[in-house]
Structure 1
Amino acid sequence: MLQVTALVKKYGKQNAVNNITFSLEGGEVVGLLGPNGAGKSTTMKCIVGLLRKTAGEITIGGHDHLSVEAKKLFSYIPETPHVYDLLTTWEHLQFIAQAYNVPNWKEKAEHWMEVYELTDKKDKLGRDLSKGMRQKVSICCALLPEPQVLFFDEPMIGLDPKAIKNTKRIFKELKESGKTILVSTHLIDSVETIADRIMIMKDGNIIGNDTLANLKATFSQAEDSSLEDLFLELTKDE
């Protein structure tokens, strides 16, 4: 569903992403982990077209990632939620529905607003929403078109415990329906229970890419080590 081949992103002479290659299949949740400056957000922004890649190829559903065909297949939730100041919560969903030609959008929009407890914020302007509420609006807008691939950059930051629980449940349901999810996060415990595969980045390189069980077997000495232990071991400074 997603194929990234020899991706390079340079800022001047500095490589932010250093010739990485990976793929995502349908029906899997992949956690993208790494310390600050590892290249996680840069990788994701290159994939969705917000940053121009220096080199490499990216395809989504067999289409070039910048094509309209590819963009119809995915949704992206950025780390900092951006909403329109002068659109209401409901108008955000209406805008997305019209952009993606979503059938029966009102029914779907009401469902997601109810899940994320936004029903009473239906007529509230974007500029008047808290960061957590903006995050919820971003997630609802991303889920509304029922995309094949979802890219989440720090999706849990700003969410209350109930919304975090709902988001994990939704990830599981999306995976079971064959959707593909890439989640970039610092909150290691938030992906340990939902990810089928873990990719760990450091200094622009992928230093681990496998199931948690296989990563533990390869890199960890202790049988009861957690993903956090493994992450700290792999990303420690030499």
Structure 2
Amino acid sequence: MDRILSVKNLKKYYGKVKAIDGISFDMYPGEVVGLIGPNGAGKSTTLKTIMGLLRKTEGEIKVCGYDYKDKEAKFKLAYIPETPDIYPMLTVWEHMKFIALSYKLENWEEEALEYLKAYDLMDKKDELGTNLSKGMRQKVMVICGLLHKPEVMLFDEPFVGLDPKAIRELKDTIKELKKEGKSVLLSTHMLDSVQNLGDRVLILKTGKLIYEGTLEEVMKKAGPGGSLEDLFLEVTK
């Protein structure tokens, strides 16, 4: 099976601080991979570097065989940051329009409306970004990320700030993406979500990849009645 995302010996240094210290992993179509670790482990830095928002110090990142800086690679990636950063003076609908123009999408309106309905944003369609709560801004970012049908979605703490209905909706969306053969790299502290949604898990600590395994292997390693949380606490202590 062809790799959809390939990260080799990735390093990101800030002076002497090694935010990412030589991590390597691959992702395949239809896979949900949990990227977990304590605060300061390098999870957000990893996602931002894959996305090209931070300049890597060393290493190789390929998306569907293209170098991550290649225009083709950019079309196949979407990133939902932890802090939803939307345009304050654009309406919710104008955000959708902006994405459609950026990615040269056709006949996108119907799908955008479906997403707005699913995420309870129909009544906010003409509301300016500046007037939205954090949870609503998060929902707008998720929809903008989904609209151009990327092959790989990078989520950084996506459940923070969402109400229970939106969390359920997002989990359903992730399951749907998986069914469609898309890949999801999910960085979160909500380990039960990784346990329920994930196929594999990557555990980072101080910029290094200290554990990688399938959820099946994780549960075996955690022992009878054990959980991902037990293993996480064991390997990161």
Normalising by structure 1, what TM-score?
0.96
Counterpart position of 1:93: 96
Q: Is 1:176 the counterpart of 2:159 in the alignment?
A: no
Residue of structure 1 in register with 2:55 after alignment: 52
After TM superposition, what 4+ stretches of structure 1 lie above 4 angstroms from structure 2? none
Query: 8 Å contact 1:208–1:215 — kept in the other structure?
Result: no
Report the CA distance between 1:13 and its aligned residue: 1.0
Does the CA contact (< 8 Å) of 2:5 and 2:61 recur in 1?
yes
**Structure 1 unaligned residues grouped into runs of 5+:** none
Q: Secondary structure at the match of 2:9?
A: strand
- CA drift of 1:66 comes to 1.1
How many positions carry a matched residue from both structures? 234
Identify which range, 100-109 or 117-126, moves more after superposition: 100-109
Deviations 1:149-195 (A, max 9, x none): 10000110010001111111111111011001000011111221000
Residue of structure 1 equivalent to 2:129? 126
Aligned partners of 2:48 and 2:79: how far apart in 1?
A: 9
| Aligned equivalents of 2:147, 2:181: Cα separation in 1 | 16
Is 1:112 the equivalent of 2:115? Answer: yes
Which residue identity does 1:130 align to in structure 2? S
CA distance in 1, matches of 2:12, 2:133: 33
Q: Any idea what the Cα deviations from partners look like across 1:180-236, whole Å, max 9, x if unmatched?
A: 100001111122100000111111111111112212334x3x311011111111111
Instruction: Map residues 1-238 of structure 1 onto 2, 5 A cutoff.
Output: 1-218=4-221, 220=222, 222-236=223-237
Quick one: which amino acid aligns to residue 95 of structure 2?
Answer: H
Would you say the 8 A contact 2:80–2:154 is kept in 1?
yes
Q: CA deviation at 1:94?
A: 0.5
- Distance, in Å, in 2 between the alignment partners of 1:191 and 1:123 is 34
Identity across aligned pairs (percent)?
54
User: Please, what TM-score do these two structures have when normalized by structure 2?
Assistant: 0.97
Stretches of structure 2 lacking an aligned partner (at least 5 in a row):
none
Alpha carbons 1:17, 1:203 under 8 Å: kept: yes
- Structure 1, residues 95-116: CA drift from partner, whole Å, max 9, x if none? 0011111221110110110110
